[in-house]
């Protein structure tokens, strides 16, 4: 928790180790095109030069990726394809997913969260295990359908 008595004379007076802002990009593994954008945002910018007299804080900002972390959507199209790989890709070869490849080969893997989705697409589980969350088509009910059925959801599933 930030102590509200810290004098804020300038940004350089703050302890940068104590104050951090995390920018989390949502819905990794939804689709390959989106994942390419996330991979680009995980990379530090290139080609930026500091000029003499530039604020040191600007230099730090110029070396920082646009996003700090990614949450992955486990029932997205890319995730479904990765789960279906036989055998699963555990070697140093490409997985066929640009986002999975960069997460496996860089420190970005330490910045991954799980986006739990109970309203859109299909379930990662067999339908019989989550039947109260699914419509007759075997897909999640959508946000409006989920809200309507919320009182009838079996929380023991």
* Mean pLDDT calculated for residue range 46-50: 59
Nearest to residue 81, comparing CAs of 119, 118, 122, 115?
122
Q: Tell me the per-residue pLDDT of 112-139, one tens digit each, with 9 for 90 and over.
A: 888 889 999 999 999 999 898 899 999 9
Categorize the per-residue pLDDT at 54 as very low, low, confident or very high, splitting at 50, 70 and 90.
low
User: Angle at which helices 98-105 and 77-84 pack, to 10 degrees?
Assistant: 70
pTM of the model: 0.67
Look up residue 17 and give its DSSP letter: T
Sheet strands side by side (includes 112-115)? 24-28, 69-73, 112-115
CA atoms within 13 A on the CB side of 6: 13
65-85: average pLDDT: 89
Write out pLDDT tens, residues 11-20.
555 565 666 7
> What is the Cα–Cα distance from 78 to 42, expressed in whole angstroms?
18
Residue 146, SS3?
A: helix
Residue pair 48/28 in contact by the 8 Å Cβ criterion: no
């Amino acid at each position: 928790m930030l102590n509200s008595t810290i004098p804020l004379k300038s940004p350089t007076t703050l302890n940068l180790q104590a104050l951090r802002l995390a920018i989390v990009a949502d819905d990794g593994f939804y689709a390959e095109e989106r994942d390419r954008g996330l991979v680009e945002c995980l990379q530090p910018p290139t080609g930026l030069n500091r000029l003499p007299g530039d604020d040191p804080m600007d230099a730090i900002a110029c070396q920082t990726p646009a996003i700090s972390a990614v949450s992955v959507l486990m029932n997205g199209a890319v995730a479904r394809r990765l789960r279906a790989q036989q055998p699963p890709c555990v070697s140093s070869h490409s997985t066929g997913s640009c986002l999975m490849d960069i997460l496996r080969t860089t420190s970005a893997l330490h910045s991954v969260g799980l986006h739990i989705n109970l309203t859109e697409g299909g379930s990662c589980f067999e339908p019989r295990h989550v039947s109260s969350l699914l419509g007759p088509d075997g897909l999640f009910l959508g946000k409006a359908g989920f809200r309507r059925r919320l009182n009838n959801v079996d929380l023991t599933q």
